[in-house]
């Protein structure tokens, strides 16, 4: 089993509004570079929510680190700050304009959680996203015959990620799942 990330990126910052937007763009660019385009929107949304929490709630300062780690079939994004207080999931009024950050993280991620840093100097809040399996494509002709054009590729992998948990997991992000190869059916 691989114990180290196959790809890793770390950004240190002050969680100020102008920097949050910059880090969102950095995360998006890094995922694009790793060819993980389907994960850009959920990762950018969730990291924005976690950095906004640091900006609003962290004490004594807003210094934090965003870490992105790709291990086999899972992307883990974590935000570490110096405030030892763990965040609490709030039950919000449906029309509330704040207090939904962790609920959004739970909604877009495969799993998420938090834990105090081992050195006692703060906390880590993390989320994971499943790396989509490559899809196979098939070409089908358009209805109009003789044009020589083909239809856009058809997606044959209809799998969807499991629903996100509503309560955080406490402790570090889960270890990556072992790589398995699906069994092949005999060819007749």
Flag whether pLDDT at 181 surpasses 50: no
* Mean pLDDT along residues 154-183: 48
CA 29, chain centre distance (Å): 14
* Mean pLDDT along residues 44-53: 95
pTM beyond 0.75, yes or no: no
Q: With left for phi above 0 and alpha for psi between -120 and 50, is residue 103 left, alpha or beta? A: alpha
> Which of 67-76, 136-145, 163-172 comes out lowest in average pLDDT?
136-145
Which domains are delineated in the chain?
A: 7-170 (3.30.565.10)
Q: Can you give the length of the chain in residues?
A: 188
Half-sphere exposure of 99 (CA within 13 A, CB side): 10
Flag whether pLDDT at 119 surpasses 70: yes
Question: Residue 92 corresponds to which tokens in the numbers above?
Answer: 């919000």
Residues 50-90: tens digit of each pLDDT: 999 999 988 888 999 999 999 989 999 999 999 999 988 87
């Amino acid at each position: 089993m691989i114990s180290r990330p196959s790809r890793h990126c770390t950004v240190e910052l002050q969680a100020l509004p102008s920097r949050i937007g910059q880090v969102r763009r950095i995360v998006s660019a890094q995922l694009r570079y790793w060819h993980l385009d389907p994960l850009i929107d959920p990762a950018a949304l969730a990291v924005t929510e976690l950095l906004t929490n640091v900006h609003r709630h962290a004490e004594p300062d807003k210094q934090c680190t965003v870490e992105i780690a790709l291990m086999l079939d899972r992307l883990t994004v974590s935000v570490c700050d110096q405030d030892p207080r763990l965040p609490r999931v709030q039950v919000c009024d449906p029309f509330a304009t704040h207090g939904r950050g962790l609920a959004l993280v739970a909604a877009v991620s495969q799993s998420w959680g938090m834990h105090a840093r081992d050195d006692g100097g703060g906390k880590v809040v993390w989320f994971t996203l499943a790396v989509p399996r490559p899809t196979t494509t098939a070409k089908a002709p358009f209805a109009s015959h003789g044009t020589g054009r083909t239809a856009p590729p058809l997606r044959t992998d209809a799998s969807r990620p499991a629903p996100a948990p509503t309560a955080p997991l406490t402790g570090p992000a889960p270890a990556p799942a072992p790589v398995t190869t699906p069994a092949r059916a005999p060819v007749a």
